[in-house]
Amino acid sequence: MTTREGSLEAPTRHPLNWKSADFYDENKLNEELERVFDICHGCRRCVNLCTAFPKLFDLVDESPTLEVDGIPKEKYREVVDQCYLCDMCYMTKCPYVPPHEWNVDFPHLMLRAKAVKFRKGEVSFRDKLLSSTDALGKLASIPVVVQMVNAANKAAPVRSLMDGMLGIHKDRVLPEYDSAKFRSTARPDDSFEVKDGKTTPGKVAVFSTCYVNYNEPGIGHDLLKILAHNEIPSIVVAKEACCGMPKLELGDLAAVARNKDLNIPVLANLAREGYAILTAVPSCTLMFKQELPLMFPDDADVAAVAEAMYDPFEYLVSRHKDGLLKNEFKQPLGKVSYHVPCHLRVQNMGQKTRELLEMIPQTTVTTVERCAGHDGTWGVKSEFFEQSMKIGRPVFRLMSDSNPDYISSDCAIAGRHIQQGIGGGEAQKQHPLTLIRIAYGL
Ligand code: SF4
Ligand code: SF4
C-alpha cells in the first residue's frame, strides 16, 4: 500500500488528550517527537515559518547519523522552546494533518512537550510571572503603582536589572499599564432594540481580555462606540478571568482549566441568552473558539461559548452582510498598512478586518500576512528577543514600504512590536477598531 502525499480531506483536529497518564509519559512523548521530527525532516516545508524548524534541521545536520535518530533526546527541548504555538504550521503548511494517516499536529505536540516540562517543575519564575497577565495587570494598574511601573519599564538601569535578574530583554518596549481599567470605565449601552440578523445575533457581550482591560482600554471603548453607533445593544461580561492562553503557552494546563471554570459558566449563560461574545484580542478569541473545545470536547458549555464567540470584525462584516451595519464613513484614512496576526489567520474566516477597512472611502489598505514574531510573551524574553526581531524584519519592511499614514494589527501586541521594529517614521499606530471609530467620525 502506498501513502498518499498530502490529504484530500478537510483538516480535522483531535481533542487534546491532556488528562491521560500517557500524555505526560516522557518516553512516550519522546517516541512521538522522534516520529514527527522524522516526518518533518523528510518534508521541510515549514523551514521559513519560525525558528523551531531550522533548529530541528540544524540538530539533524549535527547528528552523527545525519538523521533524527542521531539527535540526543535531551536536545528535543531546544526545538520545543523555539515554538510559540502560533499554529501556522498546522493551519497553512502541513499536508499530513489528520485525517492523513501520519497524523501530524506539530503545535499540539509542542504543547504536550511544554506540559511535560511544566509538570516536571522545569519552568522559570520569569515564565510563570509573565503568563500571569491578570494578576500582573491587577497589581500594576493600582493608582500610584501604575506610575512607578510605567516609569521603571522605561528606565534603562531598571531594564538592565530586569534583563539580568528576570530575563526580560532590556530593549523590548513594554506596554504601559492604565489605572483607568476598561472594565471599571466602560460605558456599554444596552438601550437599543435587539435586531437579530440572518447570520448575527442582535446583541453583544464584550469579553474585555487582560490586555484591553489593563494596557489599552481605548480599544475596548472604541469597540463599544462602534456598537452604539450601529445601535447594537451591548454589555460588558459581568465577571471574567484571563482566557488562559498565556498559561497554555507555558504548558500549565491545570491553570487553563481553572480559568475555564471561572469564565465558561458566565459566558455560556450569555451564549444561551443569545448574545454574540466579542473579544478584541485574536489569541483570546482563538482560545475560546479552538483550544478550550479541544481540551474539553465533551463540555456543552464550552461548545456553546465557542459557537457564540466572534472576532469583532467577523461580527461587523457579517452584520454588514445582514444589512445592519452603517457604512457612511466621514473620515478617510489614506494609506493603511495592515498586519494580519497568526492567531487571526488560523481562525479561518478570511480577512474581515481588511474587508471593513476597504469600505472606507479614500482609503487604501496594504495587507501583510506574515508572522511578526512577537508571539505573546515569547518575544519579551531575553533569549528570544533577537530572534523575535529577526522573524519580524520582513514584516517591518513590508509594513513601512508604502509610506503609510497608519500601521495597524488586530493583535495590539504585534502592533507595538511592528512599531518598535520600524522605529520612528510618520505613520501612526492604531488598532483597526480605533481606525473604524475614527472613520465613523466618533
Ligand atoms: S506552531 Fe508556530 S512557532 Fe510552533 S512550530 Fe508551528 S509555525 Fe513554528
Ligand atoms: S509540520 Fe508538516 S509541513 Fe511542516 S515540516 Fe512538519 S511535516 Fe512538513
The reply to whether ligand 1 has any atom less than 6 angstroms from the CB of 375 is: no
Kindly state the DSSP code that residue 381 receives in the 8-state scheme.
B
Instruction: Determine the pLDDT at residue 402.
Output: 87
pLDDT of residue 111: 96
Cα 85 to ligand 1 centre (Å)? 5
All residues at 6 or more sequence positions from 71 whose CB lies less than 8 Å from its CB, including other chains: 37, 59, 60, 63
- Predicted local confidence at residue 241, as pLDDT: 94
Cell numbers at 72, concatenated: 540526543
| Per-domain boundaries in the chain | 21-119, 125-166, 182-318, 329-440
Q: Which pLDDT value is given to residue 7?
A: 61
| 285 contacts: CB under 8 Å, gap ≥ 6 | 279, 309, 310, 311, 343, 344, 347
Cα 52 to middle of ligand 1, angstroms? 7
Query: Which protein residue has the closest C-alpha to ligand 1 atom 2?
Result: 86
The 10s digit of each residue's pLDDT in 114-168 is 999 999 998 888 888 888 888 878 887 787 788 888 888 888 888 888 888 888 8
- Closest CA to ligand 2's atom 7: 40
Q: Give the per-residue pLDDT at 1.
A: 44
Ligand nearest to the CA of 40: 2
pLDDT at position 6: 60
Sign of CA dihedral 433, 435, 441, 442: positive
* CA atoms of 374 and 413, how far apart (whole Å): 7
Q: Which of 34, 38, 40 has most ligand 2 atoms within 8 Å of CB, for mutation?
A: 40
Q: So what's the pLDDT on residue 8?
A: 63
- What CATH class has 329-440? alpha beta
Looking at the CA of 35, name the nearest ligand. 2
Closest ligand to Cα 249: 1
Question: Using a 6 Å cutoff on CB, does residue 44 contact ligand 2?
Answer: yes
Residue type, 425: G
Q: What is the DSSP letter of 261?
A: H
pLDDT of residue 5: 61
Which atom of ligand 2 is nearest the CA belonging to 53? 5
Low-confidence ranges of the chain (pLDDT < 70): 1-9
Which residue of 46, 48, 50 sits with most ligand 2 atoms within 8 Å of its CB, as the best mutation to test the pocket?
Answer: 46
Residue 56 in contact with ligand 2 by CB distance below 6 A: no
